[in-house]
Structure 1
Amino acid sequence: MKSTSIVAGNLVMLALLAPPAGAVEVFLNGVQITGARDQVIDKAKVVLDKNGNVHISAPDYKVREVGATSTTPTPPPAAPATSADLHNKYFVVTEIPRPRATGYQVQVMVNNKFLRTLGDDVTQYVLELNNYLKEGTNTVSFRALRPAGKAAQSTQASDYFSVVLGEGKVSADGTLTIDNVLGEFKVTAIDRGEKAQTFTITAR
Structure 2
Amino acid sequence: MSRPSVRIALTVAATLVPMWALAGSVFLNGVNIDGVKGQRFEKATVRIDAEGNVHIDAPGYAARVTTVTPTPAPAAKPPPTAPPPAAGPLDAGVATAPVPAAATAPVPGRITQRYWLVTEQTTPGMTDFDIDVYVNSRWVRRLRNNEEQVAQDITRELRPGANAVTLIARKAQGSRRSTSASNVFKVIIGEGNEGGGNVMIDTPLIRFQKTAADAQDATEEFTLTTR
Give the shorter-chain TM-score range.
Answer: 0.5 to 0.7
* 1:116 aligned onto 2:49: no
User: Deviation at 1:153?
Assistant: 0.8
**1:138-192 superposed Cα distances (whole Å, 9 cap, x missing partner):** 0111110024x35431121000110011110001x12111000102101000101
Structure 1 residues 94 and 150 mapped into 2: Cα distance closer, same or farther (>3 Å)?
A: farther
- Structure 1-normalised TM-score? 0.58
Q: TM-score, normalised by structure 2?
A: 0.52
Whether the aligned pair in 2 keeps the contact of 1:139 and 1:199 (CA below 8 Å) is yes
Q: Are residues 178 and 151 of structure 1, via their aligned partners in 2, closer, same or farther at CA, if it must alter by over 3 Å? A: farther
Q: Distance in 2 between matches of 1:71 and 1:176?
A: 31
1:184 maps to what in 2? 207
- Distance (Å, rounded) in 2 between the aligned partners of 1:75 and 1:119: 20
Query: Are residue 101 (structure 1) and residue 34 (structure 2) matched?
Result: no
Measured after TM superposition, the shift of residue 194 of structure 1 is 0.8
> Are 1:73 and 2:3 counterparts?
no
141 and 86 in structure 1: CA distance in 2 versus 1, 3 angstrom threshold: same
From 97, 109, 117, the equivalent of 1:92 is: 117
CA distance in 2, matches of 1:71, 1:142: 15
Partner of 2:179: 155
Q: Is the 8 A contact 1:169 1:176 kept in 2?
A: yes
Distance in structure 2 (CA, Å) of the matches to 1:71 and 1:178: 31
Unaligned runs of 5+ in 1: 1-67, 77-83
1:183 is paired with a residue whose SS is: strand
Q: Which consecutive segments of 4 or more residues in structure 1 shift more than 6 A? A: none
Amino acid at match of 1:184: R
Give the drift of 1:72: 2.0
In the alignment, does 2:191 pair up with 1:167?
yes
Tell me the alpha carbon deviations over residues 97-122 of structure 1, each in whole angstroms, 9 at most, x when there is no partner: 10110110000000121111000213
Decide whether the 8 Å contact of 2:179 with 2:214 is kept in 1.
no
Aligned counterpart, 1:14? none
1:50-69 matched pairs, under 5 angstroms: none
Higher Rg: 2
Deviation at 1:93, TM superposition (A): 0.6
RMSD: 2.3
- Of 147, 156, 162 in structure 2, the residue corresponding to residue 137 of structure 1 is 162
> 1:200: which partner in 2?
223
Give % identity: 30
Q: How many residues align?
A: 129
Relative to structure 1, the CA distance from residue 156 to residue 198 in structure 2 (aligned partners, 3 Å threshold; closer, same or farther) is same
Structure 2, unaligned runs of 5 or more: 10-108
Amino acid at match of 2:189: L
| Residues 47-91 of structure 1 deviation map (CA, whole Å, 9 limit, x = unaligned) | xxxxxxxxxxxxxxxxxxxxx964522667xxxxxxx84210111
Richer in strand (by share): 1
**In structure 1, what is the equivalent of residue 78 of structure 2?**
none
Q: Match of 2:179, as an amino acid?
A: T
Letter in 2 for 1:193: Q
Q: Quote the Cα distance in structure 1 between the aligned partners of 2:133 and 2:184.
A: 17
